[in-house]
Amino acid sequence: ATVLDVARVRRDFPILDREVHGKPLIYLDNAATSQTPIQVIDCLDDYYRRLNANIHRGLHTLADEATAAYEGSRDKVRDFLGAADRREIVFTRGTTEAINLVANGWGRAHLRAGDEVLVSRMEHHSNIVPWQLLAEELGIVIRVIPVDERGVLDLAAYRTLFSERTKLVAVNHVSNAFGTINPVRELAEEAHRHGALILVDGAQATPHQVVDVQAIGADFYAFSGHKVYGPTGIGALYGRLELLEAMRPWQGGGEMIATVSFEAGTTYAPVPHKFEAGTPAIAEGVALGAALDWVTATGLEAIGAWEDQLLRRATLGVSRIDGLRLLGTAPDKAGVLSFVVDGAHAQDIGLLIDQLGVAIRTGHHCAQPLLAQFGVDATCRASFAAYNTLDEVDAFVAALERVIGMVR
């Protein structure tokens, strides 16, 4: 495997040159959003300078070129996820909208009162609340896949949760709160053995490892551009073709129809356009393609291996701090370090460490059910990306020790 040239990677990220409170920025909030390489910034700029037009409509040159660029990105997403067919890629605003599309497009068409959806306790709220909304409206039942004290899914319990009424398993590939990497392929096999489908939330996996939706056996797979070095406001849902074709449109409007008539009713465009009502985030869609090009050229395996090294260094560093408790000690983890400190509130640590130029996340990470199990309502979370260095990790640990000394 190639080794990441981190100094070279860093040169692609102009924001890394800025200072925060007079200190060099150390950005360790990558699980919330990753920074944007110059190639993506240039792509956005170029789009508005040269290409800007509405897509799929006009016959003029700009409309054609913008459409080709946007649809070209769909091919890149297809490649990135290992999907068989470009029609299986639906552009969305991100992971949240992708999951809501499954809940509304697939769920409403296929779920009845009493049907069961298995949702893990370590889900992001975006993979919990859409199912709760359906439970309220349709009377479906949510069954919770438990998590052990390391923050690992309890697979034995998982197997016992299935019944004839189980229609869907909704799990993340990587937990944003703890970094746990879930065995989604095994989870998918078990779901399929029981005739259920599986929706995988890949928001945290796509920046860290190569994803192959076919090898996983995912029926649906969701991710967000802004966590894979792309722009905000764009992401995608992968869905198996026959599932998408059998789904109801969720939002209605332009772009998603074949014909509209008050007398004869309306027919829909073929997938994926059936699910892409209205003018989409065109510039962001095009630039997502540039982000995936950047990730592929940099090498996702090298990025993942580097993040593993950063995580090891950070884990070792903070383990020497008195009264610090790590949450999420799974053997298989992505670059996420979540912890609480005796006698120091997470918020205070976050605010004070920001004064030293270090950006980490504090709070519930949109995973309140998981944190509740561990008896906390907030943690500090440092999360790593391709451009972070071992020196930054050491500086973070030193800053953390200083800050803890101040608040205790």
Contact set with ligand PMP (CB under 6 A): 31-32, 94-96, 124, 126, 172, 176, 201, 203-204, 224, 366
- Shortest approach of ligand PMP to residue 263 CB, angstroms? 39
Question: Nearer to ligand PMP by C-beta: 128 or 197?
Answer: 128
Measure the CA–CA gap between 103 and 146, rounded to whole angstroms: 22
380 included as an active-site residue:
no
Q: What is d(CA 280, CA 347) in angstroms, rounded to the nearest whole number?
A: 37
Whether the CB-CB separation of 95 and 235 falls below 8 Å is answered with yes
| Residue count (the chain) | 408
Whether 360 contacts 379, CB under 8 Å = no
Please say whether the beta carbons of 270 and 256 come within 8 A: no
In 25-115 the beta strands, taken as DSSP E runs, fall at: 26-27, 89-92
Q: Please give the Cα distance from 144 to 128 (Å, whole number).
A: 10
Beta carbon nearer to ligand PMP, 204 or 209: 204
- Shortest separation between residue 259's beta carbon and ligand PMP, angstroms: 33
Closest distance of CB 56 from ligand PMP, Å = 24
Is 325 or 364 the residue whose CB approaches ligand PMP more closely? Answer: 364
Dist CA 63 CA 164 (whole Å): 50
CB of 246 to ligand PMP, least distance (A): 25
DSSP structure string for 11-22: HT-GGGG-EETT
CB of 227 to ligand PMP, least distance (A): 7
Q: How far is the CB of 232 from ligand PMP (least distance, A)?
A: 8
Q: Which is nearer to ligand PMP, 346 or 404 (CB)?
A: 346
- Residue closer to ligand PMP by CB (options 115, 123) is 123
What is the CA angle 190-31-362, rounded to 5?
Answer: 115
How big is the chain by its Cα radius of gyration, in Å? 22
Contact between residue 185 and residue 177 where contact means Cβ atoms under 8 Å apart: no
Residue 372's identity, in one-letter code, is: A
Calpha distance 317→330 (Å, rounded): 18
Q: How far apart are the two ends of the chain, measured CA to CA in Å?
A: 44
Q: Which of 295, 286, 384, 372 is nearest to 333 (CA)?
A: 384
Q: Which is nearer to ligand PMP, 66 or 300 (CB)?
A: 300
Q: Toward ligand PMP, which CB reaches closer, 235 or 299?
A: 235
| Residue 32 Cβ vs ligand PMP, minimum distance, rounded to whole Å | 6
Task: Name the burial class of residue 71, with classes exposed (0-12), middle (13-18) and buried (19+) by CB atoms within 10 angstroms of its CB.
Answer: middle
Locate the DSSP E strands across 66-212: 89-92, 116-120, 141-145, 166-172, 197-201
Interaxial angle between packed helices 300-319 and 390-407, expressed in degrees from 0 to 180 and rounded to the nearest 10: 30
Q: Which of 77, 134, 346, 366 is catalytic?
A: 366
Active-site positions? 366
